[in-house]
Copies of this chain bind each other. A is one copy, B any other.
């Protein structure tokens, strides 16, 4: 099954800038992560502007929706910041596309020791190929419906509402 992975930034893709000591965005880590996963099914990687999800505006969410609408693939993984993953999912859910769309992200950036990013990417890729049409959030090893999920910021985990 062909899979589309759409990168939108978020903690997953944060990059350490050694000249100023901050975490920001540079090249996405997804090409390396996909190669490392040894995926043999066709994977289309689409790089949208990489953003901290707290900085996402309506236009950014509209662009994610447009990408999903335009995609020829039926299985889509969206790598997204955790803070507003729910909000972007709430734009895609009511659109009722004939696709399986799975949001994931990370609590620790891909390039930092102990990161959950690579597991989450695999988890979302499995869910996107296996579940029926719909919009889901796949975090903490759990699958949530787009309209029954929230981030518990104090605990740093996703949970039902």
Contact = CB atoms under 8 A, between A and B. Distances in A.
A130 B126 contact: yes
A110 B135 CA distance: 31
Interface string A28-44: 00000100111111010
Contacts of A140: 37-41
A33 to B, nearest CB: 8
Nearest to A43: B141
A85 to B, nearest CB: 14
A60 interface: no
Contacts of A138: 126
A26 interface: no
Interface string A107-132: 11101111110111111111101110
A8 interface: no
Contact of A111 (B107, B114, B141, B158): B114
Contacts of A158: 40
Given A122-B119, A127-B129, A130-B131, A141 B109 contact: no
Given A111-B113, A131-B130, A119 B37 contact: yes
A129 B123 CA distance: 10
Nearest 7 CB-CB pairings of A with B: A126-B126, A122-B122, A39-B141, A130-B130, A119-B122, A122-B123, A126-B127
16 contacts: A18-B107, A18-B108, A19-B156, A22-B23, A23-B23, A38-B107, A38-B157, A39-B140, A40-B142, A40-B159, A111-B112, A119-B121, A122-B126, A123-B123, A126-B130, A127-B127
